[in-house]
Structure 1
């Protein structure tokens, strides 16, 4: 797999099954009260978030593996609103299921997402990853988007339960995935060719975007320039919360350089909103 404007490929295949098994071990031990606990997803309980995860998995398999076309946005309905609507419709419908039935369905589909991605040429172009741009994206980025979605909701469930945090190994590809939204985030920033913007997530890695004639490109590592246009530094916990519009402590963010560019970088969103 060759580098692209989104940077070098990410291999998330080793993570899918391990994260899924950790989630199912957690859910299988919940009490009736645990299932009803509220999460940071407004209006959704632990059971609702688990049902949403099931919907993500069966939706991916239906669309990607089985070629099934389903709903489309209504006339005049923005794509983010469409996604919010069908997600809510699914979760509401799943409230008719007992937790035992929900768990049985989740166990049934365990491993199938991993199998689906493993059979594809992840270096080929696939559908767009909307938060990274409108054009077709390499499949490895779409797979990483899938994994990051599962990871975020798993963490939300654990936090709602006041459970031990998800092991650090599962978070290894998260910053490397979410930062792929940086070129798209900078698309309106007017800068000379060669100018660079750096982003450091302490303990997770460093990346920089470089202005080219046809837009911004991303690569791993600190900006080679001694005077980058702007830099942003924060920790992983703050970073993923910023990128997914979860509550984050912006006091843990350090910036240097052009204030307007830094402000634009901090709008980076790595989910559909």
Structure 2
């Protein structure tokens, strides 16, 4: 099997922060209250959640201060989801007291500190938190950082969509998000039976997308770079960038995405890719 190289995302954090601040500073009072794809959260709520991500990481991981203890079993996916959902809801509710101006100021200050902290981490050292949605119980820091990138990317993209902003669907910014999300494909297929050597191809259209191959090995599914698989795909899944990012972050359900996806070959085998979820939830 060909090795999958790590995903480099750290250089793009300052770019995301700059684009976020530019967008938020351009909003009208009505824009801040617009609904988003993040369920019951408004634009202001999503911005507050992004701030929470900065402050929580600095407090917990940089400073070693948790405030509220994490689950007793940090490897329990369900326990971690409950823990994070409670923290998220409590913070967003309290942050509704903050003005947009205060949110912007805090995002500007904490974003730079947050990126500086990530830059201090050894990318090959074990991360404090595993990337649970990829099925890992221990992750390296480079994957933890990439996971954080997907969080910042998709929540900011939700704001762009809500207010008609320019969005983040560029090759520079979207491709790292996409590559990170697709590291969860083997976990999404963990219960899918197929003969050894079976290949599933996932294609995201346009120059900002790409092609990925998932290959069935003896005891697991393995993500391989294009051209490494020795057999023709048994199933092909093609998504637009707009459908892909929303599907992987719960903005679209698998049923909704199926109506917009192109499925070739073994449809049942291909449909498993529509259950890839690259967030904790």
Per the normalisation by structure 2, the TM-score is 0.87
**8 Å CA contact 1:230, 1:256 repeated in 2:** yes
Specify which of 249, 253, 267 is matched with residue 275 of structure 2: 267
Q: Quote the Cα distance in structure 2 between the aligned partners of 1:29 and 1:189.
A: 47
1:180 aligns with 2:183: yes
Matched length: 269
Q: Quote the Cα distance in structure 1 between the aligned partners of 2:99 and 2:248.
A: 33
| Equivalent position SS for 2:111 | coil
1:135 aligns with 2:137: yes
Q: Quote the Cα distance in structure 1 between the aligned partners of 2:94 and 2:178.
A: 33
* Residue range with higher mean Cα deviation, 261-270 or 244-253: 244-253
Q: 1:18-167 alignment to 2 at 5 Å? A: 18-69=15-66, 70-73=68-71, 78-126=79-127, 127-166=129-168
Partner residue of 2:242?
237
Deviation by residue 1:143-202 (Cα, 9 ceiling, x = unmatched): 111111111111111111122223513212121111110011111122333322221112
Specify which of 255, 259, 264 is matched with residue 256 of structure 1: 264
Specify which of 201, 210, 213 is matched with residue 208 of structure 1: 213
Deviation by residue 1:94-151 (Cα, 9 ceiling, x = unmatched): 1111222222211221222221222112123323101101321222111111111111
* Residue range with higher mean Cα deviation, 243-252 or 38-47: 243-252
Q: Quote the Cα distance in structure 1 between the aligned partners of 2:244 and 2:273.
A: 11
Partner residue of 1:194?
197
**8 Å CA contact 2:197, 2:231 repeated in 1:** no
> 1:223: how far off?
6.0
Q: Quote the Cα distance in structure 2 between the aligned partners of 1:120 and 1:269.
A: 26
Q: Quote the Cα distance in structure 2 between the aligned partners of 1:238 and 1:201.
A: 9
Gaps of 5+ in 1: none
1:228 aligns with 2:233: yes
* Residue range with higher mean Cα deviation, 62-71 or 183-192: 62-71
| Equivalent position SS for 1:163 | coil
> 1:83: how far off?
1.9
1:210–1:249: structure 2 CA closer, same or farther, 3 Å change rule?
closer
* Residue range with higher mean Cα deviation, 239-248 or 50-59: 239-248
Deviation by residue 1:205-261 (Cα, 9 ceiling, x = unmatched): 111122223322212215633433322111211111111111355333122233322
> 1:86: how far off?
1.5
| Equivalent position SS for 1:71 | coil
**8 Å CA contact 2:199, 2:231 repeated in 1:** no
Deviation by residue 1:62-118 (Cα, 9 ceiling, x = unmatched): 222222233334999743233222201100011111222222211221222221222
Q: Quote the Cα distance in structure 2 between the aligned partners of 1:223 and 1:229.
A: 15
Q: Quote the Cα distance in structure 1 between the aligned partners of 2:59 and 2:134.
A: 23
